[in-house]
Structure 1
Amino acid sequence: MTIPLRRLTAATLAALLAGASLAPQAFAQGAQAPSAAPASDGPKTPLPAPTPRAPQPGGDRRAAPDPDWPCIQPKVGALSYGQMWSGAPLEQALETWRQDEAVADLVPVIVARRTKPEELAAELDTFAKAAGAEKNAKLTLLFAGAFEELNTTRSAILTGIERYARKQRTLSEKIKQESLKLASERKDMATQNSPEFQQKEQERDWDTRIYDERSQALTYVCESPVILEQLAFTLGREIQARMD
């Protein structure tokens, strides 16, 4: 199973970040494991230490030193609204935006990545017109809600990425130990030709395949926090453009 990086659904992304493993279920359902590697081959996946790193564009750049942060993109913690909002302070708005029904209904729409730019512009125009004299206050509440939702989602993704990296590191070590054991047992011709040895090779190759596919998916997952940050900047700009 190869995961199309640009077409991961929200459910798939959540499963990946939770470290869901497909191997046990696949074997239980009779799925065919990858063919065993020739006797002279080692594991298909390089096993860097201490932490597996997803292949990333610009791989010559230095990655973050945190062993639980596998992305080439620098790790940035919780966002600050001051980076993207030049209006009134949002402390009160962050606490009260859900009390406004129109704001609470629109926030999920404008933070959804499936919402197209022209749809976003139309939604904001309609909202600003309906707000009338309270336009500035309502738009402030709207950005506060959007910012909080994006920041919360982004923080959850950061935590998931770190958990994902730890699981990858554990799987990498497992593949390494499996490969060393197989290399030792391969010296005995009788053992090498046994069904038990062939099964062990299949399991090692399956683990390697899972590791590779998760690494490919991580390339996309690592972009998600940056995309959400860019969306927050876009919303801040678009909402403020409609204020007096």
Structure 2
Amino acid sequence: MMPVARAAWVLWVAGAMALASAGAAMGQPKEADWPCVQVLQPELSVGAMWSGPDPAQAATTWREMPAVMVLVQRVAPRRMPVDEATAEIRRFLAAVKDDRRGTATQIFAGLFESLNTERGTIIRGIQRYGARQSLLAERIEAVRRELDGLDPKTTDAKVRERRADLEAQMTWRARIFDDREKLLPLVCEQPAVIERRLFALSRVLSEELDKGGGN
């Protein structure tokens, strides 16, 4: 590898390793495998999403209400657009004659549990993603160090063969790392997508509570 190209590789690997650990530096220090610039928030807060009745009891009973459970299973998944989900929630509550507040709270409890669980699964996946990137960056750095120890001007056939093999490894691993980094912004946005969905559906439930008055 020519000196200029070697210098470029050194700079690239240094940047790669910095990217792999950037999320941890900007998030919570204990989460070394968090690769996102977004601050890591492992769990959502009920208080940040809900201003209605205390959902603590509903969190343990919402599955005992078959109609509520079916509704939650329909509207929680992201394959249903938010506007369709909110329309279904409004239709469901419009048909409730007694204890609209209690029913809305049950729905919120179900949505919170379902979406928070999905979000947690995604976060753990992102952490595994970050761990793989960190490991790959370490391997690239190890290859670079070995290359630095081999004389680029050698006439030894075995050394030249080893250098060629290491350079091929670095090129391949760098390509994989770069492809993953390009996907990282989209991957890192997914927890926030779920958070926004839960907030939107919770807001609709709160509006329906206001309509329901004391019922």
TM bucket normalised to smaller: 0.7 to 0.9
Consecutive unaligned residues of structure 1, counting only runs of 5 or more, are 1-37, 57-61
AA aligned to 1:145 is G
Matched, 1:83 2:48: yes
Please give the alpha-carbon distance, in whole angstroms, between the structure 2 residues aligned to 1:231 and 1:140. Answer: 17
Q: Counterpart in 1 of 2:168?
A: 202
AA aligned to 1:210 is I
Q: Counterpart in 2 of 1:100?
A: 65
Please give the alpha-carbon distance, in whole angstroms, between the structure 2 residues aligned to 1:236 and 1:68. Answer: 31
Please give the alpha-carbon distance, in whole angstroms, between the structure 2 residues aligned to 1:198 and 1:49. Answer: 22
Q: Counterpart in 2 of 1:212?
A: 178
Across the aligned residues of Structure 1 and Structure 2, the Cα RMSD in angstroms comes to 2.6
TM-score norm. by structure 1 comes to 0.72
1:130 Cα deviation from its structure 2 partner: 2.8
Residues 24-67 of structure 1, C-alpha deviations (whole Å, 9 max, x = no match) = xxxxxxxxxxxxxx5442438433486534899xxxxx722523
Please give the alpha-carbon distance, in whole angstroms, between the structure 1 residues aligned to 2:87 and 2:28. Answer: 43
TM-score norm. by structure 2 comes to 0.80
Q: Choose the corresponding residue for 1:172, options 131, 137, 141.
A: 137
Residues 113-164 of structure 1, C-alpha deviations (whole Å, 9 max, x = no match) = 2322331232112211232223322221111100011111222222232232
Describe how 1:1-244 pairs up with structure 2 within 5 A.
Answer: 39-40=2-3, 41-42=5-6, 43=9, 45-48=12-15, 52-53=19-20, 63-64=26-27, 66=29, 67-185=32-150, 186-189=152-155, 190-191=157-158, 193-194=160-161, 197-243=163-209, 244=212
**Preserved contact between residue 70 and residue 165 of structure 1 (Cα < 8 Å):** yes
- Structure 1 residues 45 and 106 mapped into 2: Cα distance closer, same or farther (>3 Å)? farther
Structure with the bigger percentage of helix: 2
Consecutive unaligned residues of structure 2, counting only runs of 5 or more, are none
Of residues 131-140 and 148-157 in structure 1, the stretch that sits farther from structure 2 once superposed is: 131-140
Three-state SS of the structure 2 residue aligned to 1:79 is: coil
1:111 Cα deviation from its structure 2 partner: 2.0
Residues paired across the two proteins, number: 201
Please give the alpha-carbon distance, in whole angstroms, between the structure 2 residues aligned to 1:54 and 1:109. Answer: 38
Percent of aligned positions that are identical: 33
**Preserved contact between residue 64 and residue 72 of structure 1 (Cα < 8 Å):** yes
- Structure 1 residues 180 and 166 mapped into 2: Cα distance closer, same or farther (>3 Å)? same
**Preserved contact between residue 13 and residue 141 of structure 2 (Cα < 8 Å):** no
1:240 Cα deviation from its structure 2 partner: 1.5
